Structure 1
Amino acid sequence: MAGPISSGAAPVATHNPGTRYGPALALLASLFFMWGFITVINNTLLPHLRSVFELSYTQTTLIESVWFIAYFVASIPSAKLIERVGYQKSMVTGLLIMAAGALGMTVAASIPSYGVTLVMLFVIASGITLLQVAANPYVAVVGKPETASSRLNLVQAMNSAGTMLAPMFGAYLILGRSKGGTAQGEVVLTQAERLADAQSVVLPYILVAIVLAVLAVVIARFPLPAMGNATQRHNKEERKKYSLWNHRNLVFGIPAIFIYLIAEIGVANLFINFVSQPDIANLTHEQAGNYLSLLWGGMMVGRFAGSAIMQKFDAGHVLAAFSIGAFVVMLVTVFTTGPVAMWSLILVGLFHSIMFPTIFTLGIKGLGPLTEEGSGLLIMAIAGGALVVVQGYLADHYGLQTSFLLTAACELYVLFYALWGSKTSNALPEQQIAE
């Protein structure tokens, strides 16, 4: 099993060779696409809100911190909801929560209000958390157990497709329709201009809300394959005999996910502001948003390529190589200027691509009947993205370019995990959790 789920729900798939899972997986891939798309809209929304509300870098990155705090707050309630109403209804509920938050963003833009914006982004992120907790394990267990990792990597690539397209959408409909987004470099807006710029958020989020509502209706009416639970009671009893903390790969994997998210989100959130600087690329925010698509596109390409590479090479060794590459390009970003610094920051997307799914897979390896609890802890570690506010503080006090040294330090922990922390200890046989 290779997918995040919080403790309290323990799905066990009963694979039926006669069942066709392709249509269901294709539909579920659309969920991964949408939550990747909406998450990365934030990367174009942040520089927009920075100019509208005249925010510091610390206040700007606090917006993303609120987003990732939702992963910590909402993951356990999400698991409880899934246990009560099932996976399919929980996915529908998650989509409707996201749609409500998207409509709330139009209200926040109409006021406009920084506080209401934070609340609505938290609502959207809570809906995404519910989708994460429901959809990831569903993809992992529906189908042949031996191809679980392949399925999860495939739908994660669709998530990257959403992250690649979102910056273009945001650059055109948010930044391209605002005074702050089309101005060269930093600009101080008048009160009237800030009110006008705030309105540019309304149309994009109305469109997003409509798509989410339609997708919720489709999911509700689609005959998703059932997940077996005949052995669920046996698994709960079996898990009581073991301790999660005897597994080194999980113990070090939880902070690996936490720290990796600081790196990924910090790069994405500050990319537009960084490359817009006169000594880097001297672009408008709208133009920089289009380049951000290349960073996320690199993540999509890297996941497809990494999936193929790991069929021939050890996953830990591949993770080590990618973390070294990420460390090198971040140093180039910090200590150079001009197009070299911009393209090195874009390139880090390629090296970040395999990190989350590979750390996750290595983290649950050998957990046997403890897989569900371990997965729950790993998904809660996504809350590490909330600490991007630390990079915002560094950017305010030591300079935006210097703040990327934090990202470089994060890559070194991933390297440590790949070479040593991911080695399994006290591995349990996987057949104890699935029949």
Structure 2
Amino acid sequence: MAGGIPIAAPALSSGFLRGKALIFPLSLVISLFFLWGFSYGLLDVLNKHFQTVLDITKLQSTGLQVVYFGGGYLLFSPVAAEVMKRKGYKITILMGLSLYSLGAIMFWPTAHFSTYDNRIASFGGFCACTLVIACGLATLETAANSYAVVIGDPASASARLQFCQSWNGVASFIGPLIASKFFFTGKNEHSLVNVQFVYLAVACAGVAIAVLFLVTKLPEVSEEMLNSSTPAENFAADEFGNEIGQGPLYKQYNMIFGFVAQFCYVGAQVTVASFFINYATENATFSAAQASNMLSYALITFTVGRFIATALATIFQADFLLMVYAIFAIALNAYICAGHGTAAVAILIVLFFFEAPMYPTLFTLGT
């Protein structure tokens, strides 16, 4: 749903793919969006689950988001970008999948040795696991977002990225559905056993997708290819005819403004999703299991919003769509801050619809 820092995306030196040649490479990229969407959906649920099982405060539980977005995405994205520049997309994606699977498998021993007496240390261990997963996801998003942009026709880049990110949303609502059954019902509500098995499955999925990428030949971009191609092939032009991505970093205004806007948006989205369950249980009369289901409905709404925005992106300009959706999101958020009860939770779910196109649109506008 949200993640990697916008970077200038180099074009394929051999020209972009069209028609049937685009289907399989794009499908593999979509599998990455699906993978980290599922992981992101689980992350928001773990906040509430750890509050219950490990008896930590809401403030302490945000440590998961701090290491996920601060340690993983903010700090590791530049490393991933440098690897992509030097080694290309495929190596970067394989590195990301390796880190992702390693972090997921580390959940098993952490949960296994977790007790009430060492709950703070255990939560620190879960944060470390989440950091490794986040480094993997930051690497995947850095590569996959850019690859989705450059692999096809530049004119449809925004719509193509919207479509890929839509599958991120499809996976994200599965996480809370699983959590409502395996994390918040019966004895599972006060146990971490199912956390072990869920993340073991996540690790296996990461390894399986890594094998697919390893044995598949994909159109590649390397530094040598970029150096041998013409500037017109490497850089898009703005409305004034200036090449985007050329010149010193402080003059690349698209990227700078894209970074600032993305930073603000991701902060808002993460806060809304992370405390959704707390909001629904404390501001209304829902149980944790019901609230987890409600979060799943919100993420389904988010997914529907992504697909609708993908269709609208083929008709309207990306900046116009972003402005309209942002106005609605601000108005709804104002009501959520002041409202109470079931109606406020319903409006909170609607907010997810208007969040849907913001990340991929900002990413495209910033690259």
The normalised TM-score by structure 1 is 0.73
In the TM superposition, residue 240 of structure 1 has moved relative to its aligned partner by: 9.2
CA distance in structure 2 between the aligned counterparts of 1:4 and 1:96, rounded to whole angstroms: 20
8 Å Cα contact 1:174/1:204 also seen in 2: no
- 1:57 and 2:58 matched: yes
1:327–1:89 Cα change, 3 Å: same
Structure 2 equivalent of residue 378 of structure 1: none
CA distance in structure 2 between the aligned counterparts of 1:137 and 1:249, rounded to whole angstroms: 15
8 Å Cα contact 2:159/2:314 also seen in 1: no
- Indicate which of 86, 89, 92 corresponds to 2:88: 86
Structure 1 equivalent of residue 102 of structure 2: 100
Structure 1 equivalent of residue 214 of structure 2: 220
**Identity over the aligned pairs, expressed in percent?**
29
In the TM superposition, residue 125 of structure 1 has moved relative to its aligned partner by: 0.4
CA distance in structure 1 between the aligned counterparts of 2:205 and 2:186, rounded to whole angstroms: 21
In the TM superposition, residue 178 of structure 1 has moved relative to its aligned partner by: 4.4
Structure 2 equivalent of residue 122 of structure 1: 131
In the TM superposition, residue 11 of structure 1 has moved relative to its aligned partner by: 5.1
In the TM superposition, residue 329 of structure 1 has moved relative to its aligned partner by: 1.6
1:54–1:314 Cα change, 3 Å: same
Structure 2 equivalent of residue 270 of structure 1: 275
Structure 2 equivalent of residue 427 of structure 1: none
8 Å Cα contact 1:276/1:288 also seen in 2: yes
Give the aligned length.
344
Structure 2 equivalent of residue 24 of structure 1: 25
CA distance in structure 1 between the aligned counterparts of 2:245 and 2:365, rounded to whole angstroms: 22
Q: Deviations over 1:212-231 (max 9, x none)?
A: 11111111112222337534
| SS of 2:219 mapped into structure 1 | coil
Give the alignment of 1:87-166 within 5 angstroms: 87-112=89-114, 113-166=122-175
In the TM superposition, residue 23 of structure 1 has moved relative to its aligned partner by: 1.1
Structure 1 equivalent of residue 337 of structure 2: 334
1:342–1:241 Cα change, 3 Å: closer
Structure 1 equivalent of residue 293 of structure 2: 290
8 Å Cα contact 1:13/1:142 also seen in 2: no
CA distance in structure 1 between the aligned counterparts of 2:124 and 2:305, rounded to whole angstroms: 37
In the TM superposition, residue 271 of structure 1 has moved relative to its aligned partner by: 0.4
8 Å Cα contact 1:96/1:216 also seen in 2: yes
Q: Deviations over 1:69-107 (max 9, x none)?
A: 111221122123234433213212211211111111111
1:176–1:11 Cα change, 3 Å: farther
In the TM superposition, residue 269 of structure 1 has moved relative to its aligned partner by: 0.4
Q: Deviations over 1:393-430 (max 9, x none)?
A: xxxxxxxxxxxxxxxxxxxxxxxxxxxxxxxxxxxxxx
Structure 2 equivalent of residue 230 of structure 1: 225
The normalised TM-score by structure 2 is 0.86
8 Å Cα contact 1:75/1:133 also seen in 2: yes
Q: Deviations over 1:139-193 (max 9, x none)?
A: 21112232222221110111111112221122222223645x4xxxxxxxxxxx5
1:266–1:240 Cα change, 3 Å: closer
Flag structure 2 segments of 5+ consecutive residues without an equivalent. Answer: 115-121, 236-242
CA distance in structure 2 between the aligned counterparts of 1:84 and 1:241, rounded to whole angstroms: 18
Flag structure 1 segments of 5+ consecutive residues without an equivalent. Answer: 182-192, 365-435
CA distance in structure 2 between the aligned counterparts of 1:119 and 1:132, rounded to whole angstroms: 20
8 Å Cα contact 1:6/1:76 also seen in 2: no
Structure 2 equivalent of residue 426 of structure 1: none
Structure 2 equivalent of residue 404 of structure 1: none
